[in-house]
Amino acid sequence: MSDKKISIGMFGFGCVGQGLYDVLSQSQGLQANIEKICVKDKNKKRKIDMSYFTYDKKDVLSRNNLDVIVELIDDAAEAFKIVSEAMNNGVNVVSANKKMLAENFEALYNLQEKNNVALIYEGSAGGSIPIIRNLEEYYDNELLSSFRGILNGTCNYILTRMELENKNYDETLKDAQTNGFAESNPWLDVAGYDTLYKTILLTVHSFGLILKPDQVLNLGIQNVSFDDIVYAREKGLRIKMIGTGYKIGENGTGKFRVYSIPQFVSQKDELYNVNYEYNGVEVEGAFSCKQTFVGKGAGSHPTGSAVLSDISALTYNYKYGYKKLKKQAKAKGKLPNGEALDNDFEIKVYIRYKDKNEIKDIEITSVEEEYKSARTNYIVANVKFKSLFTLKGNKESKVFVCAV
């Protein structure tokens, strides 16, 4: 099987696409041939022969000799159209588009079932870390209780340089973009959306639960300041952008809490030393206990290598079994969705703000610490988690929130 030469149709030739090209060229094990690459920009100079490229998606989608379509474009809506059409044509798809996957998960799952094709996406979460396949295959019968991960290389790179090098936010964001860690739209990274999408994918493979991006809280690091870094440092803590999901209550009958927000982590935490563009995911099972996976979470070659691994898996007819999802669906008579999500609880957070009016919509139940000065103010308080949704995606807000 592995001796077969496989034909690839590609969409997109940005950072990850070029990385995949490099990795494929040097991989000795996999015999693969890129037949055609569909790109958008006719004027952009390309590093490889122009005969590879087309600007018409039909040139790729209607080729009937393809074994796999690899989708690596930025535009999630367009990506969904491409991926759907490919699957309806009976072609297996590899994607690294977490936004597209998270926003359309149920439809994409149904397309896989209907057409009996594979859609695999290891490159969409955790960069080079094989987290999705491990959650799906290795922890398939474990009583997983939680996952928590640093899933966005850009946020972690920015936070680490602020913490360890005393650099400022804008400078490090620019560096991240130069180095190819940041997506073309930095808002999705820094406002926690990228982490949110990945968290939604890990929730599917950890617990068999399909959540929609608007159901799950994400807060970002777009308003983080040196005051916050110094506050953390004085207490021996670091600020990390973390996506998490965990079970509460009795197994099976229980609910889940899932969110993507900045959190303080102590030196004892496995994620404390996951720095710069590295990602780290900690998984906890009833019997395997805590397991941590650390690796490069962003960049051309690490993500390219994850995509390569997916292409390679297809040559062995691999597809996700979605065992947990199917089990839940069987028990409930329908695909499990937001009903099992619990957003109704209290959480202790650090909130930095300038004007009290900025945090008026946050329902504070008790204040543990309060600091006021002419320059900045903060409180450490227990708040109603649900009320933090008022800050979700709020571009005007200058408030920084971090879970304690």
Beta strands 68-71; 6-11: pairing state: parallel
Amino acid at 61: L
Provide the β-strand partners of residue 50. Answer: none
Buried b (16+ CB within 10 A) or exposed e, 251-275: eeeebbbbbbbbbbbeeebbbeebb
Q: Identify the residue whose tokens are 């906890």.
A: 284
Terminal C-alpha separation, the chain: 51
Query: CB of residue 201 vs a second copy: minimum separation in angstroms?
Result: 17
Query: CB of residue 130 vs a second copy: minimum separation in angstroms?
Result: 4
Rg (CA), the chain: 21
167-171: long-range contacts, CB 8 A cutoff, minimum separation 24: 168/226, 169/224, 169/225
Beta strands 377-384; 364-372: pairing state: antiparallel
Nearer to a second copy (CB atom), residue 16 or residue 347: 16
Query: CB of residue 109 vs a second copy: minimum separation in angstroms?
Result: 17
Query: CB of residue 20 vs a second copy: minimum separation in angstroms?
Result: 9
Residues interacting with a second copy, by CB under 8 A? Answer: 2, 19, 22-23, 26-30, 122, 128-130, 133-134, 137-143, 251-252, 270, 273, 285-296, 301-302, 304-306, 308-309, 312-313, 316, 321, 323-324, 327
